[in-house]
């Protein structure tokens, strides 16, 4: 996974574990794509201060992820939901679909809706 995407995922899960300045620095750097100099000017601290905030935040997020594994679990669940989605799509494209009851077809559509809702979050 690309580092920026990885940090973005960790930040979305663990941002409340960071100090306000760390969270703001990470958000501006990774999500808003501002340079260290731009963040420094915005926050009224040195460029080195911004860099230190980001590095400390990254360390904290990676450390907590190592202990809790929430991001890894999230990605695993997302992969498994995609597998379920693929299996259901295969069922829908099967020539035997006409033999399924309308109730089963409705339940398949409900499952697909649930998967889509989860993937949007």
The model's pLDDT over 46-90, given as tens digits with 9 standing for 90+, comes to: 999 999 999 999 999 999 999 999 999 999 998 999 899 899 888
d(CA 13, CA 60): 12
**Residue 42, token pair as written in the block:** 């915005």
Task: Please give the pLDDT value at position 52.
Answer: 98
Q: Are residues 115 and 84 in contact, defined by beta-carbon separation less than 8 angstroms? A: yes
Q: What angle do CA 73, 4, 115 make, to 5 degrees?
A: 40
d(CA 54, CA 17): 13
d(CA 47, CA 2): 24
Contacting residues for 8 by C-beta, under 8 A, at least 6 apart: 30, 31
* DSSP structural state of residue 28: I
Q: Strand ranges (DSSP E) for 1-121?
A: none
Question: SS3 for 18?
Answer: coil
Entry pTM:
0.76
Q: Mean of the per-residue pLDDT values for the chain?
A: 93
């Amino acid at each position: 996974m690309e580092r920026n995407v990885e940090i973005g995922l960790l930040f979305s899960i663990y941002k409340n574990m960071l100090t306000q300045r760390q969270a703001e620095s990470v958000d501006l750097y990774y999500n808003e794509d501002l340079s260290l100099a731009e963040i420094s000017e915005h926050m009224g601290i040195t460029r080195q201060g911004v860099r230190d905030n980001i590095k400390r935040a990254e360390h904290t997020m990676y450390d907590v992820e190592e202990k809790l594994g929430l991001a890894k679990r999230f990605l695993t669940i997302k992969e498994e939901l995609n597998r379920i989605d693929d299996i259901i799509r295969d069922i829908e494209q099967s020539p035997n679909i006409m033999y399924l009851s309308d109730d089963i077809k409705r339940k398949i559509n409900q499952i697909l809706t649930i998967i889509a809702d989860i993937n949007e979050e």
